Amino acid sequence: MAQLSYSSATSDVPLLGDTVGANFDRAVAAHGDREALVDRPSGRRWTYRSLAAEVDSVAAGLVASGVEVGDRVGIWSPNRAEWVVVQYATARIGAILVTVNPAYRVHELEYVLNQSGVRTLFAAASFKTSDCAGMIAEVRPRCAALRQVVLFDSPEWTELHAEPLPEWPELSADDPINIQYTSGTTGFPKGATLSHHNILNNGFFVGELLGYTEDDRICVPVPFYHCFGMVMGNLAATSHGACVVIPAPAFEPAATLRAVAEERCTSLYGVPTMFIAELAEADFDSYDLSSLRTGIMAGSPCPVEVMKQVVDRMGMREVSICYGMTETSPVSTQTRRDDSLDRRVSTVGRVGPHLEVKVVDPGTGRTVPRGTPGELCTRGYSVMRGYWEQPDKTAEAIDPARWMHTGDLAVMDDEGYITITGRIKDMVIRGGENLYPREIEEFLHTHPDVVDAQVVGVPDAKYGEELMAWVRMRPGTEPLTAESLRSFCAGKLAHHKIPRYVHVVDEFPMTVTGKVRKVEMRRQAIRILDLPIDAARHA
């Protein structure tokens, strides 16, 4: 009988039963004089002891302003030290931190504040070209629950600080502590509600598999508003007594490389597009990256060629691929430090400690044999409590047995390693053939003149769908054409997998977290190609 695509992982290390605040207290007691946080743009530094004093002062100020256990406190800001302070201060008093995407505009901001019932909002006065203070003023009259707005770098922030309380509220590790809004492709975003237990354990076990100790210094250029920054970054660090280094408010490749070199960072995070941008810096070889040991590449499929360069040129010999989603706190699978290079460049690793994964037939829900593609599902401590005040949406994502259905297509091999082959919704059906963009993108990355490639499906009268490749070219090279692409692919890719259309761009449509927005690419492709076909499936 064929072995089924199911895997679980035990661990000699038990799950943590702490709240975030209690775990932070342990770190402060053990590592009080060690550096905990470096904010390079402002030049400020904190030890664990001085960071705890700042956290407790803000926590006390929130209590004095009337914030109670379970109240929602929003934060709308790019990366900065105050973001970290607010994260741990709200955890200390049991308020639920609502993390708001810095790229949101008035319509989205108003929806999130109202849907979650934010009572207090921390925010940057501005971000890039966005007048955040002006947008808050516009929506505030329409947000009934919003009672207090605290802008960073303002008297309100300074005045919020208060003397720490002799006793903090009594909390449970299962209490909700964070609402993160998923960037849905249709309709309004949904608020994934996560507990202390969810995110503290996920950060801790990701750090365990990376081998973190108090000697590690983690460069975090990914946004804090997302799990990648606040869980895999901040919580993985503080649960091990390590240091978080903020290179810039938003991702800048040169600033990130400088931070690694000058702060002697041992770990670096990023989505693939970030690593691609760093490797493409003209003076890349001038940065001393010899301190790097490990790091995480995650957020979207990681091209094999990029991963090899990260290992060879950046010296990240123990770099890990992590896979997950906001709804699972986020990491479900991870490559290990002793995995072969082939495993680390071609899979997203194995299931994490204390978790389960399975691959099922999307139609029947039955677990498929190993080696057979299907939808990846995960279960365990990491699965969210649900979508905030949306039980119907929760029931669509989490089945009665508490399996979270990811919507991702995956294959599990005989040793339990998972390969993500794409999103169910990204799969292209051409003339009845199921085509997986990831496979074609990996091949295009072997073209010597291609920096990055993304493949989407576009409507076609004959085949239902056709493939279109969006490519970024190396400077000074000839743009790829449909004809030259066919020549490159001939004899190497099956004919039906060769993209019919090619579009050369300087950059792809991106989310603020660095994920490629394929839905937007499809919309643009339909306009670019002037397709007179009903494109409802792609809109």
- Do 18 and 225 meet the contact criterion of CB atoms below 8 Å apart? no
Q: What are phi and psi of 82, to 5 degrees?
A: -60, -30
Average pLDDT rounded to a whole number, residues 362-391: 96
Please give the model's pTM, rounded to 2 decimal places.
0.86
In a domain, 353, yes or no: no
In a domain, 422, yes or no: no
Average pLDDT value over all residues in the chain: 93
In a domain, 452, yes or no: yes
Indicate the range of 32-36, 175-179, 188-192, 394-398 predicted with least confidence: 188-192
Partner residues linked to 398 by β-bridges:
404
In a domain, 151, yes or no: no
Separation between Cα atoms, residue 492 and residue 443, nearest integer Å: 9
In a domain, 335, yes or no: no
Q: Where do runs of H (alpha helix) occur along 377-517? A: 391-397, 437-444, 482-489
Give per-residue pLDDT as tens, 8-51: 999 999 999 999 999 999 999 999 999 999 999 999 999 999 99
Q: How many domains does the chain have?
A: 1
Ramachandran area for residue 275 (φ above 0: left; ψ -120 to 50: alpha; else beta)? alpha
- Distance linking the first and last C-alpha atoms of the chain: 43
Better pLDDT: 105 or 75: 75
In a domain, 515, yes or no: yes
Identify the band that residue 535 occupies on the pLDDT scale cut at 50, 70 and 90.
Answer: very low
In a domain, 494, yes or no: yes
| DSSP annotation of 50 | H
In a domain, 509, yes or no: yes
Average pLDDT rounded to a whole number, residues 165-172: 96
Could you tell me what percent of the chain has a pLDDT over 90?
Answer: 82
Q: Which domain holds residue 458?
A: 427-538
CATH number of the domain within which 525 lies: 3.30.300.30
Looking at residue 513, its pLDDT comes to: 63
Could you tell me what percent of the chain has a pLDDT over 70?
Answer: 97
Identify the band that residue 519 occupies on the pLDDT scale cut at 50, 70 and 90.
Answer: confident
- Do 538 and 460 meet the contact criterion of CB atoms below 8 Å apart? no
Give per-residue pLDDT as tens, 296-331: 998 776 777 888 899 999 999 999 999 999 999 999
Looking at residue 183, its pLDDT comes to: 63
